[in-house]
Amino acid sequence: MRRKIIAITRPAQLEDPFVKIIRTQGGMPLVFPLIKLHPLLACPLPEDLRPKLSKAQWLVFTSKNGVFFFMDALKKNGYSAKTLLAHCRFAAVGSATAKLLESLGWECWRPAHFSGKFLAENLPIQVGDRVFIPRALKGKSDLPQLLEKRGAVVTDYPIYDTLSANYSEKEFLDFLAQKPDVITFTSPSAAFSFKAHLDKFDLSTPKILFAAIGTTTAQAMRECKFSLDILPDVFTLDALAKEIAKVIS
């Protein structure tokens, strides 16, 4: 990956671990956020939230963002998560999400494979268990439906939204002019945002390698008619970087 330009389209972060990983691999990260995150839980919290949480046996998180926005909303509203959620068991789709929950002091069930489908099929629930899923408003997942088929009572609760960036034509063309070797997408929303910018400025898809972090994002790329050049077997940033290095070396 040495001196290859890797475009990172994730939301801007002060210390993005993906930037560090790409640099460690010898690549040159090109940060171009295609989406931004917007919290949906306000002060005070919606009246229906506490009753739903009080009845839930499981909290299932599908991303680190979900953990951050959920815990942050509880804290800002004066609630102790340790008290409010003491009766709940936790599960996470991905390893990074699970590690974040564990760093906050929660025991976390993880699936052997990092996908919503595998989690839904293997989560140790009983018929009638109540599962609360705090996640993105536009999140594309069959997780709630699969859990319901197993007899769970699912609350699919949007706590943040992903909004597309709105670049000018000059800004977007300046990005492409830097000639990234690979454009990475770590969410479906980023892929859709890139497609929307191409369409807005009447541009054809550039002849660049495209990388997806996982199967859900890969499906979004197919819908956008992007080539799926890089897809790791394990859906983590580390695995994605290693797969990029393997393909472009």
pLDDT tens digits in sequence order for the chain, 249 residues long: 889 999 999 998 867 899 999 999 999 999 999 999 999 988 888 999 999 999 999 999 998 899 999 999 999 999 999 999 999 999 998 888 999 999 999 999 998 877 788 899 999 999 999 999 999 997 767 899 999 999 999 999 999 999 999 999 999 999 999 999 999 999 999 999 999 999 999 999 999 999 999 888 999 999 999 999 999 998 889 999 999 999 998
Q: How far apart are the first and last CA of the chain?
A: 6
Q: What's the total number of domains in the chain? A: 2
Q: Are 145 and 45 in the same domain?
A: yes
Quote the CA–CA distance of 22 and 20 in Å, as a whole number: 6
Same domain, 42 and 73: yes
**Does 101 share its domain with 134?**
yes
State whether 55 and 88 are in the same domain.
yes
What domain range is 27 assigned to?
5-34+165-248
Q: Which residues of 14-42 are buried (b: 16+ CB within 10 A; e: fewer)?
A: eebebbebbeebebbbbebbbbebeeebe
Could you give the count of Cα atoms lying within 13 Å of 92 in the half-sphere of its Cβ? 18
Among 162, 187, 211, identify where a domain stops: 162
Shared-domain flag, residues 89 and 125: yes
Last residue of one domain, picked from the residues 111, 142, 162: 162
Q: Are strands 35-39 and 153-164 parallel, antiparallel or unpaired?
A: antiparallel
Q: Are residues 100 and 144 in the same domain?
A: yes
What's residue 175's pLDDT? 98
**Using CA atoms, how far apart are residues 130 and 141, in angstroms rounded to an integer?**
18
Residues 146 and 179 in one domain: no
Do residue 78 and residue 55 come from a single domain?
A: yes
Does 157 lie in the same domain as 42?
Answer: yes
Of 112, 133, 162, the domain-final residue: 162
What pLDDT was estimated at residue 49? 93
Please give the full DSSP string across 141-167, using - where no structure is assigned.
Answer: -SHHHHHHHTT-EEEEEEEEEEEE---
In whole angstroms, give the CA distance from residue 20 to residue 25.
Answer: 9
Statement to judge: residues 178 and 236 lie in one domain: yes
CATH number at residue 48: 3.40.50.10090
CA–CA separation, 90 vs 188, rounded Å?
25
DSSP 63-88: SHHHHHHHHHHHHHTT--HHHHTTT-
Q: Does 108 share its domain with 169?
A: no
Residue 4: Cβ within 10 Å count: 18
Are residues 104 and 62 part of one domain? Answer: yes
